[in-house]
Amino acid sequence: MTGPTLCRPAVHVPEYVITLEETLNLARSMHADHPQLPLALRLINNTRVERRHLVQPIESTLRHPGLEERNLTYVREAKARIPAVVEEALANADLRADQVNAIVFVSCTGFTMPSPTAWMINQLGFDTSTCQIPIAQLGCAAGGAAISRAYDFCRAHPGANVLIVACEFCSLCYQPDDLEVGNLLSNGLFGDAVAAAVVRAGGGAGMRLEATASHLVPGTEDWISYAVKETGFHFQLDRRVPKTMEMLAPVLKETAGAHGWDATSLDFYLIHAGGPRILDDLSMFLGVEPEMFAHSRATLTDHGNIASAVVLDALRRQFDAGTTPEGSRGMIAGFGPGITAEVVLGSWVVHPAAPGFVPVAAPVELEHA
C-alpha cells in the first residue's frame, strides 16, 4: 500500500506590496529617536526580505483601530481570499470539494469560533460530514503540523483526502506602540499569504508522505510567544531562538535515520524560513550545502516570513522547478513556538496529468476584493 500524496499547493499573496527600502525608511521616520534604531535597521536589512505582501495598504496597516476591528478585517479578508486558493488546490489534485474528507485549517494571526472550516463547509461545497481540524497555536510550525495531521488522518481512514489551508495575515498583528527591538524586527520580517494543498489518498503527483515526527525543545516555551493584550497579539522573540537549530538538527537526523534515510544527503529540503540565520545555522549543523535550501530562501526573499504558509510556498517552488526525478527523497520541516519542530519525510512522485488536471504556475496576486 502506498502512502498519501501531498499535491501541488496553491499560494496567493495579497496585492499591496512593501519593499525592504520602504520598510527601512518607515522605521527611520517613525522611530528616529529610538536608542536602538541602528540595531533594528541592521537586523531588518539582514533578513534579506526584498518585499512583503499586505492585505491592506500600508496606511491602513500602520493604523491600529483596536482588536475588534482588526479581527473583523481578518475574517473579511479570509473569506474574500480563501475560496480561490481552495479552488486552485483542488484543481491541482484533480478533486472536487465533495471528495474531501477532512480540512486542516492553520492560522496564528486572527481568531474565530467556530473555525473558518465551518464557513468553508457551508459555502464552498464540502460535505457536512467533513472532519474539521483547526490548529491555532503552533505558529510557524503549523505548516508542517498540518501536513503531518493530514497524513495521520489518511492513514487512519484509508481512501480519505484531506485539504490543508494556511491563512496568515501577519500584518494585522502590527503593534505601533510596541518598541522592543524584537518587535521592530518582526515589522520588517513577516508578510501575508493564503495557501492550500491537498493530501490525496491515491494518485496525483507530488510528495508521497512516508513518515512524520514532532519534537519539543524543553524549557523554551517563552522563546517564541504572543503576549495577549487589549491591543491584540504582541509577538515576542527571544534572541536565543537561532541557537535552537543546533538542538533541532539532531532531531532531523534521528527522524530520517529511523526511516532508513540519511538526513545529510536527501534530494530536496523544504524548510520553514523564519529568517536567514535559521537557514544558515541549520545548513551548518545538519551538514547540508546552503543551496539545498534555495526554495526556502526564495520564499523569504519574495514574501518574507509568511508563517505556516512558508513550507507550502517552498513546496510550490519545488514543483515549479520541474527538475525533481521520480523517487527523489525529501524533507519538510517547520519550526515554531514551543520551540516545536514538525518534520515530514516523503518521496517525489511524477504522474502524467490526469483528465481535468489544471496546472498553475506562480502565486497569484489578488485584485483587492
Which residues are designated catalytic? 140
Output the DSSP codes for 37-70: HHHHHHHHHHT---EEEESS-HHHHT----HHHH
Q: Is 75 exposed, middle or buried (0-12, 13-18, 19+ CB in 10 A)?
A: middle
Rounded Cα distance between 170 and 77, Å, is 12
Cell 492560522, residue? Answer: 107
DSSP bridge partners of 194:
12, 167
> What is the distance between the alpha carbons of residues 368 and 21, in angstroms, rounded to a whole number?
24
Q: Please tell me the distance from the alpha carbon of residue 74 to that of residue 170, in angstroms, as a whole number.
A: 10
Amino acid present at 154 = C
Burial class of 315 by CB neighbour count within 10 A (0 to 12, 13 to 18, 19+): buried
Residues 127 and 82: beta-carbon distance below 8 Å: no
The answer to whether residues 269 and 288 touch, using CB atoms and an 8 Å cutoff, is yes
